[in-house]
Amino acid sequence: MTNATRFGHVAIVGRPNVGKSTLVNRLVGQKVSITAPKPQTTRHRVTGIITEARGQIVLIDTPGLHQGGKDALNRQLNRTARSALEGVDLILFMVQAGQFGPEDEDVLRLLSQVEAPVVLVVNKVDLVNDKTDLLPFLAKVGEKGDFAEIYPMSARRRRGLDGLLDLVFSYLPEGPIGYDEDQVTTAPVRFMAAEIIREKLARSLHDELPYQTTVMIERFEETDRLVTIGAVIYVARAGQKGIVIGNRGSRLKVVGQQAREAIEHLLEKRVMLDLWVKVADDWADDERSVASLGYQLPE
Ligand SMILES: Nc1nc2c(ncn2[C@@H]2O[C@H](COP(=O)(O)OP(=O)(O)OP(=O)(O)O)[C@@H](O)[C@H]2O)c(=O)[nH]1
């Protein structure tokens, strides 16, 4: 018997809308707390850390599994996605039960270039009424790649979360945990605040959201009772500004209100949130501006 802990980095990849954020929130929300990327983790964008007695799982975000445009940002995102997948210990490739389309094929293609074991996570099984329908699907998608395991679950219904954690831990190498627990629980939340704002915006805009939208936190001041946050939503073109702001500011107001409430919930403190929308002129086509907005350019 050994009491050694396990520690490793795990990337969750999959086409948009498959349930990745839901899974991260469920895993992180249920087990510990949320963290922001530390300066030294330049290669990996950390979205959450799960700490248990048996070890620590660092969840990695892979921006850039986008399709479509061939502009600088898109190329950059794909490079970022590939480099984010280098050096991870495990990849969770998420698909939706009963669906495997061209977007899933694209993600799969990206995965063929990486070395880490890939677990095929089949999410939203709650949407499949007759579970016997699931078996042929699992068999079919299972043959599309070299998967270490196939794991059906439902992130939204919280079905299969504990099993997934067991599975993930079994793939992580033994080693000391990389983040101390204090740091995890008191970690900076600027990054999360930006993600929350972007998420509320995405929900409000549905498919209208231009993927070149970036949220930057420009001000973050915390006192015992109040957190004051100033954030800028950058859009690529002037025409998109109106979409984000909405009729007489209605959309921005709703997004701001929802984001504020979510951040208050996260911080357990009152939050003052100021949102601005700015046009970052053509930054999607300018690699230097892309870098200055937070995406790293490869050497
Ligand atoms: N029925 C069902 N819906 C789910 C499940 N998991 C996630 N969803 C829903 O699917 C939608 C998309 O989920 P997200 O977690 O935002 O998906 P995502 O993969 O992070 O999407 P992107 O951020 O666009 O890449 C949301 O409405 C979720 O509530 C599930 O297990 N069952």
CATH number at residue 94: 3.40.50.300
Specify the pLDDT at position 39: 33
**Contact of 142 with 120, CB cutoff 8 Å:** yes
| Residue 171 lies inside a defined structural domain of this protein | yes
Per-residue pLDDT of the chain (299 residues; tens, 9 = 90+): 456 899 999 999 888 889 887 888 788 764 333 333 333 333 456 667 888 889 999 887 665 454 444 555 556 556 666 777 888 999 999 999 999 999 899 889 888 878 899 999 999 999 998 888 899 999 999 999 999 999 999 998 989 999 999 999 999 999 988 876 655 443 457 777 888 898 888 888 876 665 567 888 888 887 878 888 989 898 888 888 888 898 888 999 999 999 999 988 877 789 999 999 988 765 555 544 444 444 433 43
Q: What distance in angstroms lies between residue 155's CA and the mean position of ligand 1's atoms?
A: 8
160 in the same domain as 47: yes
Q: In whole angstroms, what is the distance from residue 27 CA to residue 162 CA?
A: 9
**Phi, psi of 230, deg, nearest 5:** -115, 125
| Residue 222 lies inside a defined structural domain of this protein | yes
26 CB near ligand 1 (under 6 Å):
no
Residue 63 assigned to a binding site: yes
171 in the same domain as 75: yes
Which tokens go with 207? 């498919």
99 CB near ligand 1 (under 6 Å):
no
Range of the structural domain that residue 248 is part of:
189-292
Specify the pLDDT at position 69: 47
**Contact of 209 with 188, CB cutoff 8 Å:** no
169 in the same domain as 58: yes
Half-sphere CA count of 244, side-chain side, radius 13 A: 29
116 in the same domain as 11: yes
198 in the same domain as 155: no
Lateral strand order in the sheet of 214-222: 214-222, 226-235, 270-279
Last-in-domain residue among 183, 216, 247? 183
- Tell which one of 103, 156, 209, 211 to mutate to probe ligand 1, the residue whose CB is within 8 A of the most ligand atoms: 156
**Contact of 61 with 49, CB cutoff 8 Å:** no
Specify the pLDDT at position 133: 87
Measured at the alpha carbon of residue 174, what is the angle toward residues 171 and 176, in degrees to the nearest 5?
130
Last-in-domain residue among 129, 161, 183? 183
**Contact of 111 with 82, CB cutoff 8 Å:** no
CA 93 to each of CA 109, 112, 120, 211: distance values in angstroms, whole numbers, following the listed order: 12, 12, 5, 21
Q: What distance in angstroms lies between residue 18's CA and the mean position of ligand 1's atoms?
A: 5
Last-in-domain residue among 141, 161, 183? 183
Residue bearing the CA closest to ligand 1, atom 1: 124
Measured at the alpha carbon of residue 246, what is the angle toward residues 242 and 252, in degrees to the nearest 5?
105
Residue bearing the CA closest to ligand 1, atom 4: 156
186 CB near ligand 1 (under 6 Å):
no
Q: In whole angstroms, what is the distance from residue 227 CA to residue 264 CA?
A: 9
64 CB near ligand 1 (under 6 Å):
no
156 CB near ligand 1 (under 6 Å):
yes
155 CB near ligand 1 (under 6 Å):
yes
Domain tally, the chain: 2
Task: Note if the pTM is more than 0.90.
Answer: no
ipTM of the modeled complex: 0.97
Q: What distance in angstroms lies between residue 169's CA and the mean position of ligand 1's atoms?
A: 23
Q: What distance in angstroms lies between residue 46's CA and the mean position of ligand 1's atoms?
A: 19
Q: What is the CATH number of the domain that holds 265?
A: 3.30.300.20
127 CB near ligand 1 (under 6 Å):
yes
**Contact of 151 with 160, CB cutoff 8 Å:** yes
- Tell which one of 12, 15, 17 to mutate to probe ligand 1, the residue whose CB is within 8 A of the most ligand atoms: 17
| Residue 105 lies inside a defined structural domain of this protein | yes
111 in the same domain as 24: yes
